[in-house]
Structure 1
Amino acid sequence: MRALVVGAGPAGCTAAVALAGRGADVVLVEAHPVIRPSGPGLVLQSAPLRALDSLGLLEACLERGRAHEEIDLCDASGTVRTVLRPPSLLEGRPASVAISRAALGEVLVAAVTASGTDLRPATTVTALADRGDRVEVRLSDGTTEVVDVVVGADGLHSRTRALVLPAAPEPRPNGQLIWRAPAPRPPEVTRYSMLDGGPERGKVGVVPVSDSSLYVWLLEPDRGVERPHPDRLAAAFRERLRPFGGAVPLVADRVDDVDVRSLQSLLVPLPWSRGRTVLVGDAVHTTTPQMAYGVGLAIEDSVVLADVLAEDDDVPAVLLGFGERRFDRCRLVVETSVRLGEWEQRPPADPALPGRLTGRVLAELARPL
């Protein structure tokens, strides 16, 4: 099988590695000339770690990231209310790993190279022609590739989605902003902590990702006001962090390279494919970060896609089945994350509801793929 994957983010890189591992000849195109992951860091939970392990990538992520067996849930002052202890799905391995997006990108690109994938930066798809038994793909460098399957892994604003599923819905804002920034890790900050400042001040997370670094995130209501000038972003972020205690004062003045954006979600109805072209990852299921599962779902997509393509030669039927197999799991994460975001802005009458819902969903996600 010859496959062309569009987009070299986590979804595209893991798709390339998974397909190559099943014997496919893979071309991976990336529109940007340099593969530069956005955002300072992320957390990979047990199920995505299980998927990475199946690709032979878990050890490299453990070496580059920082394991977290527990997460402290705190009030705004930093007083711990609850300690989350999620179970591990892999014996002898942690329940979750925090890693910088740059480090994860390096692990994935190295794996892509080692897999024999033909990686082509500064290149993307301009046209697709499905001939039934093959797809002719016109690329931005003027060349044409003839392949058995095309995998669109080019993110929330996917150009592949526009070519293949032009009637797909647009992303929806959820009414929140997320601020994120890396910072050096003080020696005394060893645990992942989340601090709840209520609907007005939002939530803060302090996440160690290595022995020397961490990142800080803040979720707050999107009040529609003009964003600060880029030169003022760090100062504006620090000001928003001042009401919080715990580890926050230790790191607030160290934040730099601040990113702020509106949260959006997307769940494209089935089918996720047309003929021999399929969409994966954020291109069809973008989630807000409340469940910390966006990248995890993309990695799972890649593993499942490679497995099903190796089982049957009827590519269009296999791709339709892939979407059906993945849809309910991805919908569960997207819809739950959106609901949790709504409750962060308008707390439910029963304050235990978010925790109970999260626990039920995490138990469901622990099931085999």
Structure 2
Amino acid sequence: MARRGGNIMRSIRIQLKTGFMREEPEEYLFMKRYPPIRRDSQNKFFKVNAEKVPYLDLLEKAAARNPLYSDRVYPAYWQDEPVGLTLAKKQYQFIQNGDSEDEAYRKAELYIDELENKSYVELKKINSVLAEAGAKAPFLNDEALLQEILQWQALLKNVPYKTLSLADQGEVDFLLQTKVLKWKEGDRERRMKDPMFVAQFEQLRATIFPNPYEVVKEAKKKATLAKRQFCEEFGVKYEQAKPEFPFYVQDYIKWFTKLQKEPDTYQWRMEDRSIFSNWIIDTLALKCELNARGKGPKENQAYLNLLKYQFFPMTRPGADPTRKYETPTVDGLRRVLFENEIGYKRQNSMVFVRRF
């Protein structure tokens, strides 16, 4: 068929040249684009010069003993040596020095463990340096790396890491693992299967890319724990260690402004004075203090007076009636609360403060 096809093309080509055919037929155009298949007469068998690699059988045995040593590196990272191959080479070296195969395997495993332990210690050291030095960490001297970190920090400031797409999560982890920790691809695959490495790596990621949501969650957890410890120490029920009603900043400013003008509550109307007293009892006083055993009306009144003096200094005994106190504002109080790490939020269109 191949020879016949070749003769047909030659015949058409001669006829076109001699003018016997004026136009190229469609079949000829097709055959010029896709010439007839010719038989490959080359010998398909060639001699292979086999070369025995002495430690490959050791690699297969190591992979059979421990699946960790059966890892393979992706073709794009062929230059990275798998840990199993490193172990097999080291084992072969010990065998050449006269050790038995089992003894050489044990020594090679210790060598690999030492490498991994060294990497783990370096990871913990980086976490410690970040905790102490912060922005002065040595690896941040690399301007290109710093710019990449700053770009991700700007994104993760408003978006939790767990809500990122898998591709973006992979980009963040790849940046830290390859450019900060200097891990190779094989190291990444292996160490991220180790719970100890994973825990330290997640700590590193949380330090470099602090998540505001996680920070708030952790702060709430610590505050709750501290509150429970306080209650246990003083024998107070956890549910009683809070006021009866929430503390709203706007209500506090309203009473502060009124006392600024009329510091003597005995000059108030009976109705206003009663509402103000109930506000102190329900909003400022802790239930555990008012309901404490062994406390009578006298002790409770002293406690309520103390709260009134703390929140409204113009009511203190002997206070100068001509002195003017700066009336607080919502923004001013929010700034004070923030600086003292006291939680607040908007509730019912008012600023609500968790006092304890």
Shorter-chain TM-score above 0.5? no
Structure with the bigger percentage of helix: 2
TM-score by length of 2: 0.19
Structure with the bigger percentage of strand: 1
State the structure with bigger RCO (CA 8 A, min sep 6), 1 or 2.
1
TM-score by length of 1: 0.18
